[in-house]
Amino acid sequence: MTYILLVLAMLATLAFAGVLFYLLAKQYFERQQKQQLLQMKLDERRETLRAVTPIRLQAYERMALFLERISPNSLVLRCWQPGMDLKLLQGVMTKNIRDEWEHNLSQQVYLTEPTWEAIRQAKEEMLGLVNSSAVTLTDTDDPTRLAASIFASAAQRSPVDNALAVLHKELHELFG
């Protein structure tokens, strides 16, 4: 009988050790698997950032170029042609702003919402500046008066300056 009890005690000890070993091994392998999954996610994130960062930087460059192209000096100099009348100049400038905007719409996916909103606001303000300057003049006025009116209004506060400041600030925070 003692022999049976001794065998049972040994079997119970072995079973306990086996269960304990199983639980410890299971915990170890689960932890290893979690670490491997985490490492894979980190590697995937690094690869994504490596691929997206140049595209995102290009989006900031394109939007800075957009803002420079719709700035009053650039816009007037690029759109004005000898022989234009005031309404034609106004139309060409507003079309140019809208065309530039439509060409760059896809860049919004790479910018933060506040930066995109500042750029959109600059576009709207530039359209408003061109149109409000034209309203103050007559159709027979020389188009250079429209340009002068736009320059005078922009000298007080250029709609593009705020958006460029927001863009530069965000760019330096992300990549600086």
**Overall domain count for the chain:** 1
pTM comes to 0.74
- Other Cβ atoms less than 10 A from the Cβ of 40: the count is 10
First CA to last CA distance, the chain: 81
Q: What percent of the chain has pLDDT over 90?
A: 60
Element (H, E) at 130: helix 113-135
pLDDT confidence band for 119 (50 / 70 / 90):
very high
Q: Rounded distance, CA 128 to CA 150, Å?
A: 10
pLDDT at 75 over 90: yes
The mean-pLDDT minimum among 42-56, 75-89, 121-135 falls in 42-56
Q: Which of 145, 151, 160, 126 is nearest to 87 (CA)?
A: 145
Q: Rounded distance, CA 142 to CA 123, Å?
A: 25
> Per the structure block, which two tokens stand in for 156?
């007080």
The mean-pLDDT minimum among 13-17, 35-39, 44-48, 149-153 falls in 44-48
Biggest CA–CA distance in the chain, Å, is 123
Residue numbers of the domain that contains 69? 2-175
pLDDT at 40 over 90: no
